[in-house]
Amino acid sequence: MGCEILVQDVTVHLGNKCILDRVTFTVKPGEFLGIIGPNGAGKTTLFQVLLGILEPQHGRILFEDDLHKQLAGSSVIGYVPQARQMDPEVPMTSWDFVSLGLPHKIRPWFTSKDRTAIKEALRLTDAESLSDKMIGKLSGGERQRVYLAQALVRNPQILLLDEPTSNLDPGAQEKMAAVVARICNETGTSVLFISHDVNLIARYAHRILYLTKGHYAVGTVEEVMQSDVLSNLYGNTVEVMKKGTKLMLVSDADDAVSSICHHNS
């Protein structure tokens, strides 16, 4: 079961640049929050704060009313970082890779509970058939699901996923997002999912957090993806247009705007 996350007035400066400016939002247990915005908007910085890697200059984060310092780095949080390179010759099966998410265990000393946890993590990510395959030989989408299984193996209450669909083909992106949404619904895990693709996020997330230039907007896709809301965030005119079911952002003043929708045609 997930836990409630309260991010309250979090401010982060790196050098003279304000990355996050009094960002405030709540994630309910079992909620899927999509986090979008252009490069350099503070998405990964926010995760670093949630993980306890970076200390904000102002504000605080609470997990179920407890200061996050007590929980960051524990089994409460499962984390999948941005895409990692994998040596195709690495002699490790997917099962063994997922097992690395367990605390200080190697195969001969796994308990039946450990083995059950590994199997369940592989099941949740639709990766059971990959169990005995060498991880370096998997496709990008398959490998990302195994990475996700490793993050799930300790049954976390919160999942932080940093661009888990980047560099994947459209089918693998859709599969990954659908798997995450099912995990959220089935286990009640609270999910924060960073993406550059608002059209993908719009199909699965309960709400979105849009970050840019230190500012933010949070709400449903319908609430946030409005011309007036985004124009206010960017400080110049942004038009939100629909082409069928696809969202398109148009701005003459900021090329970063169009990157939020460029992945899907």
What's the pLDDT tens digit per position in 132-176? Answer: 999 999 999 999 999 999 999 999 999 999 999 998 999 999 999
Distances (CA, A) of 154 to 125, 173, 242: 14, 24, 41
Q: Supply angle C-alpha 33, 204, 40, rounded to 5.
A: 50
What single-letter amino acid sits at 163? E
- 217/19 Cα distance (integer angstroms): 14
**pLDDT number for residue 255:** 55
Instruction: In the chain, list all ranges with CATH 3.40.50.300.
Output: 1-76+157-235
More confident call, 146 vs 85: 146
Please state whether beta strands 32-36 and 215-219 pair in parallel, antiparallel, or not at all (unpaired). Answer: unpaired
Superfamily of structural domain 1-76+157-235 = P-loop containing nucleotide triphosphate hydrolases (3.40.50.300)
Distances (CA, A) of 249 to 26, 60, 65, 132, 200: 26, 33, 38, 44, 14
**pLDDT number for residue 33:** 98
Could you give the angle at which helices 140-152 and 112-124 cross, rounded to 10 degrees? Answer: 140
Backbone angles phi, psi at 232, to 5 degrees: -65, -40
Say if residue 103 is exposed, middle or buried (CB neighbours under 10 Å; 0-12, 13-18, 19+).
exposed
